[in-house]
Amino acid sequence: MKIIILGAGQVGATVAESLVSEQNDITVVDTDPARLRALQDRLDLRTVTGSAAHPSVLTEAGIDDADLLIAVTQSDETNLVACKLAARMFNVPRRIARIRATDLLDDPKVLGPDGFDVDLSICPEQVLTDYIFKLVEFPEALQVLDFAGGKVSLVAVRAYQGGPMVGRPVKEIRGHIPNIDTRIVAIFRRDGAVLPDGDTVIEDGDEVFCLAASDDIRQVMKELRRMDQPVQRVMIAGGGNIGMRLARALENAYSVRVIEHNKRRCEGLAAKLNRTLVLNGDATDEELLEQENIAQMDLFVAVTNDDENNIMSCLLAKKMGARRVVALINRRSYVDLLQSGQIDIAISPAQATIGKLLAHVRRGDMVAVHSLRRGAAEALEAVVHGDRDSCRVTGRRIEEIELPVGTAIGAVVRGGEVLMAHHDTRIEAEDHVIVFVTDKKTLPRVEKLFQVGARFL
Amino acid sequence: MRLAAVLHVLSLVLLLFAASMLVPLAFALGYQDGAWPAYAKAVGTTLLAAALLWGATHRAGRELQVRDGFLLVALVWTVLPAFATLPLLLQLPALTFTDAYFEAVSGLTASGATVLSGLDRLPPSLNIWRGFMIWLGGMGVIVLAVAILPLLGVGGSQLFKAETPTPMKDTKLTPRIAETAKGLWLVYFALTLACGLAYHWAGMNWLDAMMHAFTTMGLGGFSTHDASFAHWNSPRIEAVAIAFMLIAAINFATHFLAWHRRSLRAYRVDPEARAFLGVVLASVLGVAVYLVWDGVYADFGTALRFAAFNVVSIATTTGYANADFNLWPIFAPLWMLFLCSFASCSGSTGSGMKMIRAQILFKQVFRELLRIIHPRVYNPVKLGGQAVENNVVFAVLAYVFVYVSCIIVFTLLLTLSGADVVTAFSAAVASINNTGPGLAQVGPASTYAVLSDFQTWICSFAMLLGRLELFTLLVVITPAFWRK
């Protein structure tokens, strides 16, 4: 597939990186040659320097025969113009744009065919906000992902001594919570993945991935660890785009404080937020944290745009008594360094946000693609099409499907109903199937499974 | 400063004012009350003065600078009452100029304080003239508050609104002032018409309905009867009055928006209107309960009726009465006077320091308290989801300081000249808030005629000062204003 990526910023670079490994022709356009050079040194792709909204630059990037345009520059306007040009002048079949301003999303006409002709809009800040919001709702979880429009949730929990299921084999969970249908799809133990069968014993410290109907998540988590007090007080370090969205989403249900060092930014925050306490200061300032009762905080979230700052303020907050600290960390090496250390959750923005985009790029009809464990594993929601002859999944029982090693079907959503997968569950056309992939190398084979292939006709 | 240009514009305003005297003239002819020569003379004199002034200044042109605006506004509100006295003086030979000027100022500032008694026996056209002055004054005030003062940058509320794109969507409702004024007047006119019809439906005769529609929409409070609304003793008429007083005390820009967009959303997002209605409603219920509890009225229904009418009337700075609340236990009338100093919304025909300033002050207090607990907190004063800038808060603080100082100075001056404390204080408060009746000697059952000439002038000045939002008038009497 020929893909043009506009913007070589953080999102652009991550998208390029994850797509380059999947046999695509990728061209990246940016105004900054230095950034492009850095990208080109690392990855096998082509770069073009110039404004992403200029037809000449787009032509140079080979837009005439591109299959997909991903406009992820810093500017909403550039992205919109590029999409419109791509649709009207160059007939690019699919166009994805990063749109930050919610104003543009309010009326579907703006992005529709009569507007800027955008097929899919993504807003990384909003995705991250949702991600962290889930962590506030479920303070015991490491990550909570939604499938089938929020009906099914995949939750990652660290099993701790004290949970009734810890030290017991997986099959017993049915006996513990008889009226809840859940499935443990994977266990990560000391950085290795275990695809559990009924006899696998859950150990203390395991990272367990369970699928369950969204309403039942809390019950399932209860089996794996002692439950914490629900979150009441949240402190957010950094009042940027993410900090503000997060505060706005949380302020009505929780007591929220935001620390922001830029005075002008404080003004903007205070104007937009109603119940949040906006504090002017540095999140690594011990005195300020002390003054604002850091020891009483249930959650401390560092979301400034500076990795080091986020890490340091989180370490400080944890030391001073914050119950749980979450840091936003862009650099992958830092993330690996810190996870399961003193920082409870390290979020990689690029990994968290790329899923929605990937779903659009993959072969097969993917509704959602979620990157897990920093890109090592993936959870997919695929729609099954065709019939028994044209597709290798349709009409078969799960045990009949030739899934690659390290892959499991977790659940099937059929017409609004959630069915946990069993070996004899039969998959029908138009089902949404939730697949868990522990090894990314097998992804192409998984995708192929869900494609309606011509050779079966 | 271009005095000649200011005077030239003043001459044009006088010309219009002469035309407005044709209204009572028409009534005098229509009702055959024999008063028409007085109006004819008044029109003639005003026309003559306007022509002379015009002749003397027409070479100066009409181009005004912003600073000239202050002088013009101050002159309009001091000179017009002088001419407005003419119909009064010509028909009531016993009236002194001091009292006539007081009555005219009271009319044009939409106060409703009167020195006249035996209103029922006045020629109908004269009562129409008194009501029409209030109506004109209210009209002037709306445009002054919504369109002109923001241009001059006076006071807190104007500043706030001039700089606020939402929720009022800019006080400049339309791109040009003339258009804005036209829109506001249309709303004002339509509401007056509705008010008059409602009064007639409720049982007033056409003349009374018209006169009271004028004074209700202007929130003035002149009546055609010495007994004010007690004359009719009709709950239905009182209900109509309450409804329209409440409407007139809400920002006309909000009315305009609601009418323009055909939706009531404008009222919901106007933080001032909500606070105003809430405070007034709570006060009505509170006072009613208090009156029953204190034994003034035996049953709650009666107490509610009188509390509702008088509280709304005073809180909106109208000044009608249907009971002598002077006889109520002192807490109730004091509370009502307290309400009138801040309850009405900016941009309405009500007066006082306006709800918006009270809200800003109130929030500033909580802001200071929060800052003691969280020294590093950044919490601007917010109104309607919009941060209010600090300089606006300072302007409001200064305004309130001047406002309170004025009340104290006027009270002292009135006591100095012999009034008792309650009379002096209530007269000062009622005058600066353009309310009308005060307490004790100037209570609803009596008139301001009991005051000495000196005291009458004090009250006239206080009414002008309050109507022009203090600073507009005060700036004109500072030396710096006149320095080249």
C-alpha closest to that of A380 among A452, A443, A428: A443
The residue range of the domain holding A444 is 354-456
Contact predicate A437/A448, CB 8 Å: no
DSSP-derived pairing of the beta strands A233-237 and A417-420: unpaired
Q: Tell whether A342 and A367 lie within a shared domain.
A: no
Task: Please indicate whether, in this complex, the C-beta atoms of A292 and B374 are within 8 angstroms of each other.
Answer: yes
| CA–CA gap between residue A80 and residue A96 (Å, rounded) | 9
| CA–CA gap between residue A215 and residue A153 (Å, rounded) | 9
CATH of the domain at A314: 3.40.50.720
Task: Please indicate whether, in this complex, the C-beta atoms of A270 and B380 are within 8 angstroms of each other.
Answer: yes
Does residue A135 lie within any of the structural domains? no
Task: Please indicate whether, in this complex, the C-beta atoms of B377 and A278 are within 8 angstroms of each other.
Answer: yes
Contact predicate A290/A284, CB 8 Å: no
Mean pLDDT value across residues A328-351: 78
For residue B378, list chain A residues with Cβ-Cβ distance below 8 A. Answer: 260, 263, 266-267, 269-270, 278-280
Mean pLDDT value across residues A207-220: 86
Which structure tokens are listed for A288? 């300020």
Q: Tell whether A401 and A295 lie within a shared domain.
A: no
C-alpha closest to that of A407 among A375, A376, A440, A431: A440
For residue A270, list chain B residues with Cβ-Cβ distance below 8 A. Answer: 378-380, 382, 387
* Chain A nearest-CA residue for B367: A277
Q: Tell whether A63 and A146 lie within a shared domain.
A: no
**Residue located via tokens 């939604």:** A146
Does residue A408 lie within any of the structural domains? yes
Does residue A131 lie within any of the structural domains? no
DSSP-assigned beta bridge partners for residue A257: A235, A277
Mean pLDDT value across residues B333-343: 92
* Chain B nearest-CA residue for A275: B379
pLDDT tens, position by position, A17-38: 878 766 788 999 999 999 999 8
The yes-or-no verdict on residue A244 having pLDDT over 80 is yes
Cβ pairs bridging A and B (under 8 Å): 38
Q: Tell whether A211 and A269 lie within a shared domain.
A: no
Mean pLDDT value across residues A331-360: 77
Please indicate if any CB of chain B lies within 8 Å of the CB of A281.
Answer: yes
Q: Which residue has the higher pLDDT, A334 or A48?
A: A48
Residue A350 pLDDT level (bands cut at 50, 70, 90)? confident
Helix (H) or strand (E) holding B469: none
Range in A133-142, B383-392, B464-473 the model is least confident about: B383-392
Given strand A152-158, what is the order of strands in its sheet? A141-147, A152-158, A207-213, A182-189, A192-194
C-alpha closest to that of B457 among B84, B106, B72: B106
| CA–CA gap between residue B73 and residue B51 (Å, rounded) | 20
| CA–CA gap between residue B289 and residue B282 (Å, rounded) | 11
Range in A283-287, A350-354, B381-385 the model is least confident about: A350-354
pLDDT score of B168 = 39
Task: Please indicate whether, in this complex, the C-beta atoms of B378 and A280 are within 8 angstroms of each other.
Answer: yes
C-alpha closest to that of A326 among A354, A303, A304, A358: A303
The yes-or-no verdict on residue A258 having pLDDT over 90 is yes
Contact predicate A237/A209, CB 8 Å: no
Mean pLDDT value across residues A145-169: 84
Q: Tell whether A243 and A332 lie within a shared domain.
A: yes
The yes-or-no verdict on residue A201 having pLDDT over 50 is yes
Within 10 Å of residue A103's Cβ, how many Cβ atoms? 10
Mean pLDDT value across residues A427-456: 78
Q: Tell whether A213 and A285 lie within a shared domain.
A: no
The yes-or-no verdict on residue B383 having pLDDT over 50 is yes
The yes-or-no verdict on residue B320 having pLDDT over 80 is yes
* Chain B nearest-CA residue for A262: B378
Instruction: Chain B: give the shortest CA distance to residue A293, in Å.
Output: 10
**Residue located via tokens 């509370």:** B335
How much is the mean pLDDT over chain B? 86
Give how far Cα B161 sits from Cα of A321, B253, B386, Å: 45, 11, 11
pLDDT score of A56 = 93
The yes-or-no verdict on residue B147 having pLDDT over 70 is no
The yes-or-no verdict on residue A235 having pLDDT over 90 is yes
Looking at chain B, the whole-number percentage of residues with pLDDT higher than 90 is 45
Instruction: Chain A: give the shortest CA distance to residue B387, in Å.
Output: 5
For residue A236, list chain B residues with Cβ-Cβ distance below 8 A. Answer: none
The yes-or-no verdict on residue A93 having pLDDT over 60 is yes
Q: Which residue has the higher pLDDT, A252 or A438?
A: A252
Q: Tell whether A275 and A343 lie within a shared domain.
A: yes
Last residue of a domain, one of A315, A347, A379: A347
Helix (H) or strand (E) holding A20: helix A10-20
The yes-or-no verdict on residue B169 having pLDDT over 70 is no
| CA–CA gap between residue A434 and residue A413 (Å, rounded) | 8
Last residue of a domain, one of A347, A364, A387: A347
C-alpha closest to that of A31 among A78, A95, A92, A87: A78
pLDDT score of A353 = 75
Task: Please indicate whether, in this complex, the C-beta atoms of B380 and A280 are within 8 angstroms of each other.
Answer: no
| CA–CA gap between residue A238 and residue A189 (Å, rounded) | 34
**Residue located via tokens 């409602």:** B198
How much is the ipTM here?
Answer: 0.70
Please indicate if any CB of chain B lies within 8 Å of the CB of A267.
Answer: yes
Mean pLDDT value across residues B319-336: 90
With a CB cutoff of 8 Å and minimum separation 6, the contacts of B103 are B85, B88, B95, B114, B115, B116, B130
pLDDT score of B226 = 85
Count how many domains chain A has.
Answer: 4
What is the three-class DSSP state of B298? coil
Does residue A380 lie within any of the structural domains? yes
Please, is A150 exposed, middle or buried when counting C-beta atoms within 10 Å of its C-beta (0-12, 13-18, 19+)? exposed
Residue B166 pLDDT level (bands cut at 50, 70, 90)? very low
Q: Is the dihedral of CA B286, B291, B294, B300 positive or negative?
A: negative
Contact predicate B98/B106, CB 8 Å: no
Q: Tell whether A6 and A118 lie within a shared domain.
A: yes
The yes-or-no verdict on residue B164 having pLDDT over 70 is no
For residue B385, list chain A residues with Cβ-Cβ distance below 8 A. Answer: 274
Task: Please indicate whether, in this complex, the C-beta atoms of A274 and B385 are within 8 angstroms of each other.
Answer: yes
Last residue of a domain, one of A296, A312, A347: A347
pLDDT tens, position by position, B182-237: 788 889 999 999 999 999 999 999 989 999 999 999 998 888 888 888 889 999 99
Mean pLDDT value across residues B474-484: 84
Mean pLDDT value across residues A126-138: 88
Contact predicate A277/A306, CB 8 Å: no
Which structure tokens are listed for B33? 């009350």
Does residue A342 lie within any of the structural domains? yes
- The CA R_g of chain A, rounded to the nearest whole Å, is 23
Task: Please indicate whether, in this complex, the C-beta atoms of A277 and B376 are within 8 angstroms of each other.
Answer: no
| CA–CA gap between residue B401 and residue B406 (Å, rounded) | 9
Phi, psi of A94 (to 5 degrees): -130, 135
Mean pLDDT value across residues A360-381: 77
Task: Please indicate whether, in this complex, the C-beta atoms of B376 and A270 are within 8 angstroms of each other.
Answer: no
| CA–CA gap between residue A147 and residue A128 (Å, rounded) | 16
For residue B377, list chain A residues with Cβ-Cβ distance below 8 A. Answer: 277-280
The yes-or-no verdict on residue B45 having pLDDT over 90 is yes
Q: Tell whether A373 and A441 lie within a shared domain.
A: yes
With a CB cutoff of 8 Å and minimum separation 6, the contacts of A190 are none
Does residue A132 lie within any of the structural domains? no
pLDDT score of B161 = 43
Please indicate if any CB of chain B lies within 8 Å of the CB of A270.
Answer: yes
Q: Tell whether A375 and A450 lie within a shared domain.
A: yes
Q: Tell whether A245 and A338 lie within a shared domain.
A: yes
pLDDT score of B171 = 47
C-alpha closest to that of A367 among A420, A423, A435: A435
Q: Tell whether A100 and A176 lie within a shared domain.
A: no
Does residue A321 lie within any of the structural domains? yes
Residue A191 pLDDT level (bands cut at 50, 70, 90)? low
How much is the mean pLDDT over chain A? 85
Of B376, B380, B382, the CB nearest to A288: B376
Please indicate if any CB of chain B lies within 8 Å of the CB of A264.
Answer: no
pLDDT tens, position by position, B99-111: 999 999 999 999 9
CATH of the domain at A159: 3.30.70.1450
Within 10 Å of residue B391's Cβ, how many Cβ atoms? 11
pLDDT score of A180 = 82
Q: Is the dihedral of CA B394, B395, B399, B402 positive or negative?
A: positive
Please indicate if any CB of chain B lies within 8 Å of the CB of A269.
Answer: yes
Please, is A93 exposed, middle or buried when counting C-beta atoms within 10 Å of its C-beta (0-12, 13-18, 19+)? exposed
Does residue A129 lie within any of the structural domains? no
